[in-house]
Amino acid sequence: MHELPAYERDPYMKELTTQIVETGAEGGRPFAVLADTVLYPEGGGQPADLGWLGEVEVVDVQRRERTVRHVLARPVEPGPVTVRLDWGRRFDHMQQHTGQHLLTAVAADRFGWPTTAFHLGERVCDVELDVRPPAAAALAALEEAVAERIRAALPVSTRRVNPAEFATLAVRTRGLPAGHAGDVRLVEIAGIDLNTCGGTHVRSTAEIEAIKLLGVEPMRGGTRLAFVAGGRVRARLGAHEARNTRLRALFGAPDEELAAVAEAKLEQLQAAEKRSRGLEEELAGAVAATLAAEREGVVSAHFEGRDAAFLQALARRFVAGAPAKAALLTASDGDRSSFALAFGEDLHLDVQAAGREVAVLLDGRGGGSGRIFQGKAGSLERRAGAVARLRELAASGGVKEEKREE
């Protein structure tokens, strides 16, 4: 077995024929240990590589003491195997991670902003800087300074040094892992940075392609700075262009006017929604008055194209205008149905118990407070039965004693 794994000897190696030397399961998931591997295990802020052992998918890679466990989609048997790397994912991680080293070095050395943490996400990366959120002009200057180093095509190399040599070097580090012993792996960007790191990196800053800073936010007394590097910059630009193409067609406006047109449309929509809410309140009042004027003590109504908010407004108006009546109100909006029960103040009924009974009849669930019980209905097929049950309850409960007149 090699002293160093293949992913460290040559991070550009995409596949390797080796041996499965151990198999097992951890947390109900099968794993395999190989004599050598091109798959990088999660660590140092860099996610695990993915790939295949033969035709079996590798879904995670983790270090366990002195071994690397390849977590698999299904079990395998010991023996020879070809391990293949998901190269697109790996190269993306190499670009992001090397980009972070460069960004951290320039931020610290040129601007005095030290990095305290790094996160390599699936879509966006970020570093945490020990500084208050910088102004936009300072961030633009940082981005340009990083771009200068990318254009310079500075070599990126790795090496291992013993503890004695490590102690003599000016290394940028946030400390070695707890319990670390033996040689220390260093990653160097020529003339810019010397850093302790176990991750995989590109050979030259030119392979980073580009770094785009996306914005900052306060974080634990410092600043979180989000960025993307390499292929993610092009992918993000492509997504923005596709989105803008759609927006231009929808709004009939050029790029530079899209935000203003969208703001105007939102203002119009908010004004229309305000008018709509006013009209719904008026409608709820009119319907509540109509229902209150009916002769029955328990009334009902169904509304197509209305939602739960309308039923709630109607129920409030009904309670206020019909103290001795009850109402079952239902509505359907597309494939969603809702219901509301409204009980006048003079009805001597347990609102919650009656509401739960009706909810069961309507295959739904709900809750409420005061004199209103509201919820979602799974079916309105037994709506007539729910009305009949309410009438039974009202007849047995009657009105409050203080309101009775003989």
**pLDDT (0 to 100) of residue 323:** 94
The neighbour count for residue 284, using CB atoms within 10 Å, is 22
- 2 confidence band (pLDDT: 50, 70, 90): low
- 220 confidence band (pLDDT: 50, 70, 90): confident
Cα torsion at 132, 135, 141, 144 (round to 10°)? Answer: 90
Nearest by Cα to 81 from 5, 13, 18, 2:
18
**pLDDT (0 to 100) of residue 65:** 83
**pLDDT (0 to 100) of residue 139:** 97
**pLDDT (0 to 100) of residue 181:** 74
SS3 category, 1: coil
Share of the chain above pLDDT 90, in %: 87
Report, as an integer, the average pLDDT of 311-340.
94
**pLDDT (0 to 100) of residue 389:** 92
- Does residue 399 have a pLDDT over 90? no
> In angstroms, rounded to a whole number, what is the distance separating the alpha carbons of residues 367 and 345?
18
pTM of the model: 0.76
- Does residue 384 have a pLDDT over 70? yes
Tokens of 195: 């850093």
The neighbour count for residue 204, using CB atoms within 10 Å, is 17
Largest CA distance in the chain: 104
- Does residue 332 have a pLDDT over 70? yes
Say which residues have a Cβ less than 8 Å from residue 238's Cβ, sequence separation at least 6. none
- 398 confidence band (pLDDT: 50, 70, 90): very low
Report, as an integer, the average pLDDT of 204-211.
98
**pLDDT (0 to 100) of residue 189:** 98
Share of the chain above pLDDT 70, in %: 96
The neighbour count for residue 146, using CB atoms within 10 Å, is 25
> In angstroms, rounded to a whole number, what is the distance separating the alpha carbons of residues 304 and 299?
17
- Does residue 369 have a pLDDT over 50? yes
Strand 298-304, strand 326-333: pairing:
parallel
Residue 71 C-alpha from the chain's centroid = 25
**pLDDT (0 to 100) of residue 179:** 66
Please state, in angstroms and as integers, the Cα–Cα distance from residue 80 to each residue in 21, 31, 36, 198, 203, following that order: 9, 15, 11, 27, 31
Report, as an integer, the average pLDDT of 277-295.
93
How high does pLDDT run on average in the chain?
93
End-to-end CA distance of the chain: 101
Which tops the pLDDT comparison, 268 or 406?
Answer: 268
Query: Out of 106-115, 192-201, 291-300, 395-404, which region has the weakest mean confidence (pLDDT)?
Result: 395-404
- Does residue 21 have a pLDDT over 60? yes
Strand 184-189, strand 56-64: pairing:
unpaired
For 42-94, what is each residue's pLDDT tens digit? 998 899 999 999 999 999 999 998 899 999 999 999 999 999 999 999 999 99
Which contiguous run of DSSP H or E holds residue 5? none
Report, as an integer, the average pLDDT of 288-306.
94
For 245-264, what is each residue's pLDDT tens digit? 999 999 999 999 999 999 99
- Does residue 395 have a pLDDT over 90? no
**pLDDT (0 to 100) of residue 195:** 94
Domains and CATH numbers, the chain: 6-85 (2.40.30.130), 91-237 (3.30.980.10), 276-403 (3.10.310.40)
